[in-house]
A = this chain, B = another copy of it.
Amino acid sequence: MRYGFGIDLGGTTVKLAFFEENGTCLSKWEISTDKTDNGSRILSDIATSVTAYLEENQVCREDVLGIGIGVPGSVDLYGVVFNCINLGWGKKDVPRELGDLTGLPVACGNDATMAALGECWQGAGNENMIFVTLGTGVGGGIVCDGKIVAGVHGAGGEIGHIPLCPDDPIPCNCGKHGCAEQYLSATGIVRLAREALSLPHEASVLDSGELSAKRIFDAGREKDTLATAVLDRYFELMGRFLGTLCCTVDPDVIVLGGGVSKAGQILLDGALAPMQKYAFAPCRTTRLALATLGNDAGIYGTFKLALQKFG
């Protein structure tokens, strides 16, 4: 039996896991992400944790096929990071540096793409899928025939920046205007509600209290008129977005994850018909599903990447 590590490097914590090559997770733990000094100690902290695990559990290094690691930034085809603003990193050759520190082969990918690979392998997806994370922003990962579409500049699956409403005067965090994530993220749906509330409208439960994606979906379930109109607009834009993806890579299933996906069935029910309206006819049977691995998608995906490269 051979083994490997899956590591999900986030801005606050690093999730680490040790797997059997059949996908069984034997152990998982976290260490904190030390972002001081431009994140210069992050990789050595990870190497220390990996080495300690192998020693404590008397795992022979020859039985370890390698390490997969996901980082919150653009990663090129060779696993070299372009930049991770959250970590203070500029260009960084993670496979070489972490490989030198651990003596193990290392493969590196973008975190959203790794989560996609995790859902593909052990979650709600399959070998032809798109994973859409609807969180503070909108990220994604595309899997075709079981392989991730990383993109030449590490921007494969950066679907949150598809231009949906280019005439929008409000800029996206990325500097462009009208990106999908300006409407479809948790922040985006709150913005749509705020806009609706600023216009004349009948009394709504959203008139008072802090707005959140959860409250808007809850109000929609209760047939609140304003919330229903906001969700109609949200689903219309979601339909154009998902329809665009269907006309491009034509997946079997689109898996929705991230905080907004906790809305559950109402999200699937609301997005399906608009997606079918905007998809090209042969792909109108494309399925929509909710992610099932939650925060563990990254560790499964990174280990799977290591398996693909070194297994």
Q: Point out residues on A near B: beta carbons under 8 Å.
A: 74, 82, 128, 142, 144-145, 147, 149-163, 166, 174-176, 240, 243-252, 277-278, 280-283, 285-286
Contacts and interface: CB of A to CB of B under 8 A. Distances in A.
A86 to B, nearest CB: 15
A174 B244 contact: no
Given A152-B283, A156-B248, 17 more contacts: A74-B282, A144-B144, A144-B149, A144-B156, A145-B147, A147-B147, A149-B249, A149-B250, A151-B251, A152-B252, A154-B250, A156-B250, A158-B247, A158-B248, A158-B250, A163-B244, A248-B249
A223 to B, nearest CB: 27
B250 A151 contact: yes
Given A156-B250, A248-B249, A249-B248, A283 B163 contact: no
Closest 10 pairs (CB-CB, A-B): A151-B250, A155-B250, A153-B282, A161-B280, A156-B250, A152-B252, A155-B283, A155-B282, A158-B280, A153-B283
A240 B163 contact: yes
Contacts of A162: 243-244, 247-248
A89 to B, nearest CB: 14
A278 B144 contact: no
A163 B282 contact: no
B248 A142 contact: yes
A179 to B, nearest CB: 8
Most buried by B among A152, A244, A245, A282: A152
Contacts of A286: 152-153
